[in-house]
Amino acid sequence: MYDEEEKKGGILKPIIIGAVCGLIIFGAVYFIFFNKKEKKPEPVVTPTPSETIEEVVENPTPEPTYNPPSTPKPPVNPTNPTAKPTAKPTAKPTATPTPRPTINPTPKPEVSVHFGANSLACEKGKPIKANISVCNDIIDSVTSNNNNVSISQLGVADVVNFSDTYLNNYYRCVSDDKCVSQFQQKKCQVYNYLVSCKTTGTSELTAKTKSGKTDKIKVNIVNKYIDVKSITFGDVTNRVMKKGSTKTLSVTFNPTNTTSKNVIWYSSNPKILKVDQNGKVTAVAKGRAKITAEISTLDGVVHRDTVELIVYEKEKDLKPNDLVYFHRLSGSCSVGKTKDVKIYTEALNNYKYGIDSVTSKDKSIATVSKSKVQYRCINCVNYTISCKKKGVTYIDVKSTAGGTATYKITVK
């Protein structure tokens, strides 16, 4: 029995040992195969500076290390899962400093000096007066370029003694806008000088201010001086002017051989009509203004004539009264004499008409009738005024379109 058991044990023992060995071999193979396929890379340990790790590299070509891409996780706000965008603080507006006002230095006043005429004429051995206007300065000297004349000062007149109209229209201010403005502000003075004419010929006078501003005037000295008695405009054949247009007026002297023909021209309103010292008129703006031509005698008597002109932009701006007028505003004659006048009617596109009636307001002083002889003129009719007795009356005209005009007649 022992032999049987020993025999069975001898048979089973190699089987068991073989099975155990097989399992060991299978486990080793399994471990080697699967551990190599699924082996994950070990984390790289960075040695501290105090440590020194020596590694023997058996294989000079290291195997590539597999690093799987990492997906970044969104930040988690444990308090508020849905985080709202943080609002930016509103920037406060920057206060702009208030600029300090720029203080401009006060400009120096404009200095001007003007003789009261374009030229002078005198008779040998007799004196004449010369007037000089000075603004924002004073006269330093008045001299002559030769000995044909001598000069002496009579006095100084302050501006406040004169009316604005007189000052604005005199002393050649019409050709100097600054001069007109200064006179209106009463910043000027008028100097009066006496010029004694010694020898026939010509002289040139120079007025100089303290600041060095100058003006010049010519003096004509003759043996026999023929003084002017009157001055009248030539026929004004067109009283209306379009804005921007120009025309030149002329005057007639009585007597025609007068020595001095020094005419001063001025406008009643330079903002509507401007005129230079040659009689050239410029229409500046719509409206009415009067142009005056003026001349003085040796004794200081002033002769003048005036005409009214109308400035328009479009023909519709004109009224019937604007298109009928006498060639002058007034006139005179002696008792028993006659005076011829001309009445004009404009002939624009929208206004083509004639004269309806011409009458005298006081027939005992003067009567009026159509002239027997019609002088040649454009758009005009000649009438004759018969002077009956001393006095003043008016001649009225009415056009076929209803326009009216008046002429003043003085009977001496």
Q: Which of 345, 354, 285, 348 is nearest to 316 (CA)?
A: 348
Its CATH class, for the domain covering 226-313, is mainly beta
- Better-predicted residue by pLDDT, 162 or 387: 387
User: What's the average model confidence in pLDDT over 111-122?
Assistant: 84
Task: Give the percent of the chain with pLDDT over 90.
Answer: 29
Q: What is the model's pLDDT at position 204? A: 96
Give the residue with greater pLDDT, 329 vs 278: 278
Among candidates 355, 339, 333, which has minimal Cα distance to 405?
A: 355
pLDDT of residue 235: 66
pLDDT in tens, 340-385: 888 887 765 545 567 888 999 999 999 999 888 776 666 778 899 9
In CATH, what class is 110-225? mainly beta
**What pLDDT digit, counting tens, does each position of 47-71 carry?**
444 444 344 444 445 555 555 555 5
Average pLDDT of the segment spanning 325-336: 84
Asked which of 96-105, 169-178, 211-220 is least confident by mean pLDDT, the reply is 169-178
Same fold, 226-313 and 321-412: yes
Q: What is the mean pLDDT of the chain?
A: 77
Please write the tens of the pLDDT for every residue from 124-137. Answer: 998 988 888 888 88
Per the model's pLDDT, the better-predicted residue between 63 and 304 turns out to be 304
The pTM of the full predicted model, rounded to 2 decimals, is 0.57
The pLDDT of residue 189: 82
Query: Per-residue pLDDT tens for 232-267?
Result: 887 666 788 899 999 999 899 999 999 988 888 888
CATH number of the 321-412 domain: 2.60.40.1080
Q: Where are the domains of the chain?
A: 110-225, 226-313, 321-412
| 362 contacts 391 by C-beta, under 8 angstroms | yes
Name the more confident of 24 and 281: 281
CB 292 within 8 A of CB 268: yes
Rounded to whole angstroms, what are the CA distances from 200 to 39, 50, 205?
Answer: 139, 128, 15
pLDDT at position 317 is 83
Q: CA torsion, points 330, 332, 338, 344, in degrees to nearest 10?
A: -10
